[in-house]
Amino acid sequence: MKRLSLIVLGCVLLSGCIFDPVFDTSNWDAYQRSSAAIKAKLNNDDLRRLEIALRYLLLEGTPNIAADEQLYNNLTATNPYFIVARLGPKIDGRSAAAVIKNLTIKLDSEISATEARLQNLRDVLGSVEVSSPRYYWKQSGYLAQPVVEFAVRNDGRSPISRIYFRSVLTTPNRSIPWARQEFVQTFKGGLEPHEKQQLTLQPRGQWSDPQLKDLYNAELKVTVTNFEDANGAKVIAVDSDQLDLERKVRAALQ
């Protein structure tokens, strides 16, 4: 019996030796030590995936997370206590593999839920019709300026106060657009059901490139990405930038 107990104990000890190290976020020093131990056992690919996961988890929930390079650098350089408090509930007691796996599952769930909501709302966006989009240059005094023009009609049952558009200028057999822009149009007095208005806009930036003036076969595509009702509530309350970021992070964790 004693010999059997020793064998069992030896197996337990041996099995404990092959366990992956886990994060300890009880304090900053413990976090640094555990993090170093974890990273020392990872290959380059797993280390890259862990860094991506930790970065996302640290900045998760902050506004404009995709563009917060400076915020990330500031936090990691000057605020260790914030890092421990922020990451602790998400990684404490977990190995690198578990952190990556948990975040992957979380992102899968959030992406699926958002995409399902978007799919259900695409028909709603179809109630705003865009027709006859045109891109041309108009002489104004001594200057020629680009013009984007199209008609928009409210085929829904409720008034619309504001519409969000995405415009893309292409030519046949060219995969990269010449210009693209997102813009918002506010309708004074609203756009009532079955009402149609002609919109004429003067785009800037890429659209003002003089070489575009000679595009005889230019094709302008204008799509509706969202709109607001009479109370100013968006029909699709989805952060498209956040969804794009989640997709990119999920792909990088694979």
pTM attached to this predicted model: 0.57
Q: Do 44 and 57 sit in the same domain of this protein?
A: yes
Domain that holds residue 165: 126-230
Listed in sequence order, the DSSP H helices in 23-68 are 28-40, 44-59
50 closest CA partner among 31, 64, 35, 32:
35
Among residues 79, 105, 122, the one where a domain terminates is 122
Among residues 88, 122, 156, the one where a domain terminates is 122
In a domain, 246, yes or no: no
- Report the CATH number that the domain containing residue 217 is assigned in CATH: 2.60.40
Q: Do 84 and 164 sit in the same domain of this protein?
A: no
- Residue 105 makes CB contacts below 8 A (sequence gap 6+) with none
Q: Do 115 and 139 sit in the same domain of this protein?
A: no
Q: Do 22 and 72 sit in the same domain of this protein?
A: yes
Q: Do 106 and 141 sit in the same domain of this protein?
A: no
66 with 94: CB under 8 angstroms?
no
Domain count, the chain: 2
Residue 142: per-residue pLDDT: 82
Tens-of-pLDDT digits for all 254 residues of the chain? 555 555 544 554 444 445 789 999 999 999 999 999 999 999 999 999 999 999 899 888 765 554 455 555 655 555 788 888 889 999 999 999 999 999 999 999 999 988 887 776 767 788 899 999 999 998 877 888 999 999 999 998 899 999 999 999 999 988 899 999 999 999 999 999 999 999 999 888 889 888 888 888 889 999 998 899 999 988 877 777 788 888 999 999 98
Secondary structure element (H or E) that encloses residue 163, with its range? strand 160-170
Q: Do 134 and 117 sit in the same domain of this protein?
A: no
Residue 204: per-residue pLDDT: 85
215 with 172: CB under 8 angstroms?
no
Taking the C-alpha atoms of residue 172 and residue 66, their distance in angstroms, rounded to an integer, is 33
In a domain, 147, yes or no: yes
Q: Do 77 and 167 sit in the same domain of this protein?
A: no
